[in-house]
Amino acid sequence: MRANGGGSIIGMSSGAGAFPHRFLWAYGASKAGIDMLCKSAADELGVDGIRVNSVQPGIVDDELMEFITAGGALLDNYIANMPIARVGTVEDIAEAVRFLAGPESSWITGVNLPIDGGHHLRSGANYELLFG
């Protein structure tokens, strides 16, 4: 990237890296690490025209999250804690990543961008609902 005059690095994080989710402490710690890595790298690499950001996807309707998005108490809990009360789509995440990778965001670096329907404004999901 340096040789080409810059570029964009985008880390895949999670809201679990920004606020606690019960039973997901190791996952949350790893995602917090990605967010800080991106911020530190953004500071260091900006001089070379390299932008570094991360995205924090919320609950998305994909195979990985099917155990939640198929319905039930945990999905209801997620939706109740989202100002934009719907499950996200893969396209929602892809469009944000495309924006951060493209020239439209040429002056954006060091950002951890929640893409979660506002879920980050409220409490984390209650994963205890999976056990009861």
* Residue 127 annotated to the active site: no
Q: Is residue 125 part of a domain?
A: no
Q: Provide the domain limits for residue 34.
A: 7-120
- Domain containing 12 — which CATH number? 3.40.50.720
Annotated catalytic residue: which of 19, 23, 27, 67?
Answer: 27
**pLDDT one-digit tens code per residue, 55-78:** 999 999 999 999 999 999 999 999
Q: How many folded domains does the chain comprise?
A: 1
Q: How far is CA 109 from the centre of its chain?
A: 15
SS3 of 52, please?
strand
Structure tokens at 119: 């879920």
pTM of structure:
0.92
Q: What is the pLDDT along the chain (132 residues), one digit of tens a residue?
A: 999 999 999 999 999 999 888 888 999 999 999 999 999 999 999 999 999 999 999 999 999 999 999 999 999 999 999 999 999 999 999 999 999 999 999 999 999 999 999 999 998 888 888 886
Is residue 37 one of the residues assigned to a domain? Answer: yes
Give the N- to C-terminal CA distance of the chain in Å, as an integer.
49
Q: Is residue 130 part of a domain?
A: no
Dihedral sign for Cα atoms in the order 72, 128, 62, 58 = positive
